Homo-oligomer: A and B are copies of this chain.
Amino acid sequence: MDNSLNSVTEQAAALAQSGTTSSELVEKALDQFRSSQHLNAFVALNEKAVRRQAEQSDERRKKGRGLSPVDGIPIAVKDNYWTLDHPTTACSGAVPKIPEGQDATIVRNLREAGAVIFGKTNMHEWAYGATNTGSSIGPTRHPLDPNHITGGSSGGSALAVADGVVGAALGSDTGGSVRIPSAACGIVGYKPSYGRASRYGVLPLSWSLDAPGLLTRDVKDLLLLAPYLLGADPQDPSTFSARRFDPESTARGKKVLALTGPYLERRADVEDVIQGARERLGRDFDWNTVQMETMEPYFAAWEAILHSEASSYHQHLLQEKPDGFGDVTIAHLVAGNQLSAVEYLHAQKIRQQFMGILTVLFEKADILALPTLPVTAPGQDEVWQEFDGRRVTTQDSMTWFCWMGNLAGLPSITVPAGLAENGFPVGLMMMAKPGEDEYLLQTALQVQTVLQQSVVSEFA
């Protein structure tokens, strides 16, 4: 990978100082796109539209009329967002025709800021899976080893960033779909608080769990892009009381609580990396561990809500185009149809109990911490994962910790914590109270700074 000008922050600085042009950034991105096509990050890329956007940006900047710090920066978009210049398929053969012609709210926000909308990324069909192996155009492949998965469902977005095509990509996250591939590929992934970012124009999976999100190489990039992500949108009722991103907000609180216990197991090599990060962060953070009772009922509640809402959303499509869905997706949808209203409502009650548990935890801590994944990026053909006495499907291993942030609507982020013995990246996940996105991002920036410095000093 070519690491020059790869982060959004670096690109923005270079553009501001006329050290590069949007067209140069875009040509470099197109080169990288072509050289990494075997990894299968993109499902659609309208080169003409991309180049035109870059030229228009360069025109603006030449006249001193740049629209924002991100004017001219290429950003990739997951294929479940509507886009003006690309069709939307959610990487499913069953998708209804969604032609180009309209932007999702977040895409429009970025476009109005001058960002170059750089193609649509590969994803797990309908975002209904966390491995990214179930896609109409085939799986995404890990940049370190194509025989390993990237994780998903925003696998193409993670890959496009990790592989240096773009500095940022949009994703969506219902049980970890932004954070999972970010952690597996060694980049940063951020899921905002539920209801703080518009889902208008993003195909739903499970509307009470879904959040849009951003994948970048650096937490600083998130701080630069968050203003286009957060805030109320009249077209998404869940955002009615959403605050805009507040750049003046200053981080406070240094209490981190790491969670362990049944249904929170992880592989020893992953835990070693987290413990190493904890030691390096120990000077700046007051870090404690809490032994939880089993997470099983809450994990099951998340699954019941996910399957009920997904089957509800896909009800008509399943009748009209049953052959368009992949086998596993069909199985999920049929199973979801068997859930009763009473079971769904029971799951929502369990969800309320989980909120109560979190309220108690957040009285003791500002941040809840976990590995983002209990394992490193699995092999493409691995069906099962084993860790610390637990044997679960690779699918379940991907969402093993991430579902919490969706069930409770917490802002959540993964930052690279280091490499496991096998050379694959491990992510550290941090979650804050609902609405505390600014605090989470600023804390993540401190964490990133410490961990990067310590990497430098280890190798110095």
Residues of chain A whose beta carbon lies under 8 Å from any beta carbon of chain B:
237, 304, 308-309, 311-312, 315, 336-346, 349, 352
A315 touching B336 by the CB < 8 A rule? no
A-B contact pairs, 28 of them (CB 8 A): A237-B352, A304-B341, A308-B341, A308-B342, A308-B345, A309-B345, A311-B341, A311-B342, A312-B341, A312-B342, A312-B345, A312-B346, A312-B349, A315-B342, A315-B346, A336-B341, A336-B342, A337-B340, A337-B342, A338-B340, A339-B340, A339-B341, A339-B342, A340-B340, A340-B341, A341-B341, A341-B343, A341-B344
- CB nearest to A346 among chain B residues: B312
Report chain B residues within 8 Å CB of A237: 352
Q: Of B344, B349, B352, which one neighbours A345 at CB under 8 angstroms? A: B344
Cα A346 to Cα B338 in complex, Å, equals: 15
Report chain B residues within 8 Å CB of A341: 304, 308, 311-312, 336, 339-341, 343-344
Cα A281 to Cα B4 in complex, Å, equals: 76
The A interface is mostly helix, strand or loop, or mixed, namely: helix
Tallying the copies of this chain within the complex gives 2
Report chain B residues within 8 Å CB of A346: 312, 315
Report chain B residues within 8 Å CB of A337: 340, 342
Cα A338 to Cα B340 in complex, Å, equals: 7
Cα A415 to Cα B295 in complex, Å, equals: 52
Which of A337, A341, A343 lies at the interface centre, i.e. has the most chain B CB atoms within 10 A of its CB? A341
Cα A345 to Cα B305 in complex, Å, equals: 11
Report chain B residues within 8 Å CB of A315: 342, 346
Report chain B residues within 8 Å CB of A312: 341-342, 345-346, 349
Distance to closest chain B CB from A174 (angstroms): 15
Report chain B residues within 8 Å CB of A344: 341, 344-345
- CB nearest to A207 among chain B residues: B345
Question: Other CB < 8 Å A-B pairs besides A308-B342, A312-B346, A339-B340, 16 of them?
Answer: A304-B341, A308-B345, A309-B345, A311-B341, A311-B342, A312-B341, A312-B342, A315-B342, A336-B341, A337-B340, A337-B342, A338-B340, A339-B342, A340-B341, A341-B341, A344-B345
Distance to closest chain B CB from A107 (angstroms): 24
Report chain B residues within 8 Å CB of A345: 308-309, 312, 344
Which of A304, A309, A312, A346 lies at the interface centre, i.e. has the most chain B CB atoms within 10 A of its CB? A312
Cα A345 to Cα B343 in complex, Å, equals: 12
- CB nearest to A333 among chain B residues: B342
In the A-B complex, the 7 residue pairs with the smallest Cβ-Cβ separation, listed nearest first, are: A308-B341, A341-B344, A312-B345, A339-B341, A312-B342, A311-B342, A341-B341
Cα A344 to Cα B338 in complex, Å, equals: 12
Report chain B residues within 8 Å CB of A336: 341-342
Distance to closest chain B CB from A15 (angstroms): 43
Cα A308 to Cα B339 in complex, Å, equals: 12
Distance to closest chain B CB from A10 (angstroms): 43
Cα A315 to Cα B304 in complex, Å, equals: 18
